[in-house]
Structure 1
Amino acid sequence: MLYLWIKAFHIVFIAAWFAGLFYLPRILVNLAEVPPDSVAERARLIGMAQRLLRFATVLAIPALGLGAWLWLGIGIGKGPGNGWLHAKLALVLLVIGYHHGCGVLLRKFVQGLPTHSPRWYRCFNEVSVLLFAAIVVLVVVKPF
């Protein structure tokens, strides 16, 4: 029974964390499109992005902790035929890197440093969706 509670809350925190990772890069797209003379709009978007990054970071901690508990404490993925878990863990590391990358890009906006084009940010925005989809497929289908 404990396993089901841990799994349920892991899913809830993962969904909430990814909600932040889906929206934060979209704010970065908007920031890249703000005209240089629009100080108020830029400040508003930066404030929104900073709050969302903090919120997503807070959600990531229990998501990762509960996942580690499922893996190391309960034993999910142990034994033969669990290559899907290794692939999932590799993708989770990429998600953590993506999350960190969002923070780095946001700090560049805050510092007024040169940034990428709005088109680049639109492509960057899709990475979280691809990572999420790949992780869900690995967990549900367990292809290897």
Structure 2
Amino acid sequence: MFLWIKALHVISVITFMAVVFYLPRLFIYHLENRDKKEFVEVIKKMEIRLHKFIGIPSFWLVLLTGLGMLVINPSVFKSGGWIHAKITLALVMLIYYISLAVFLKKIQTDRCKMSPKFFRLYNEIPTILLILIIILAIVRPF
């Protein structure tokens, strides 16, 4: 059972990361083209669909399968500090996604004050987190 949950966790992480990488890119296109109403309407639909149909389900699958693995194998907490660091960074990633959902609501109602440049920089955060999480999970340095 553990391996099935782990497989589902890896699949859901991949789909979740696709959303985390692509949604800020859509925000950039949206904000850079505010004056092009037809284009913005298409981008708005893409943002909402990506969030609702892929982002939210992936978010919950990542969270539930991650918790499921910890419940099935609680001894992993004794395997070193790496697991605590990994879980902390994974929680930061989930919080990052929640922040994207907040930005999405603001962008959808034209209340976002952030610039495209902000989202270009903000989009680097999940890359750094992902690199660190993978290193911790595979190398287990401490």
Query: TM-score when scaled to structure 1?
Result: 0.91
Runs of 4 or more above 3 Å deviation: none
Question: Post-superposition shift, 1:14?
Answer: 0.8
CA contact (8 A) 1:22 1:125 kept: yes
- Give SS of 2:77's match: coil
Question: Post-superposition shift, 1:73?
Answer: 2.1
Identity of aligned residues (%): 28
CA RMSD of aligned residues (A): 1.3
Q: Which amino acid aligns with 1:137?
A: I
Question: Post-superposition shift, 1:93?
Answer: 1.4
2:87 matched residue in structure 1: 89
Structure 1 gaps of 5+ residues are none
CA contact (8 A) 1:6 1:70 kept: yes
Corresponding residue pairs, total: 141
1:125 matched residue in structure 2: 123
Q: Does 1:17 align with 2:16?
A: yes
Query: TM-score when scaled to structure 2?
Result: 0.92
CA contact (8 A) 2:2 2:72 kept: no
1:98 matched residue in structure 2: 96
Question: Post-superposition shift, 1:67?
Answer: 0.8
Cα separation, 2, equivalents of 1:74 and 1:87? 17
1:30 matched residue in structure 2: 29
1:61 matched residue in structure 2: 60
CA contact (8 A) 1:32 1:115 kept: no
Cα separation, 2, equivalents of 1:114 and 1:5? 41
Partner deviation per Cα, 1:45-64 (whole Å, 9 max, x = no partner): 11101111111111121221
Structure 2 gaps of 5+ residues are none
Question: Post-superposition shift, 1:15?
Answer: 0.8
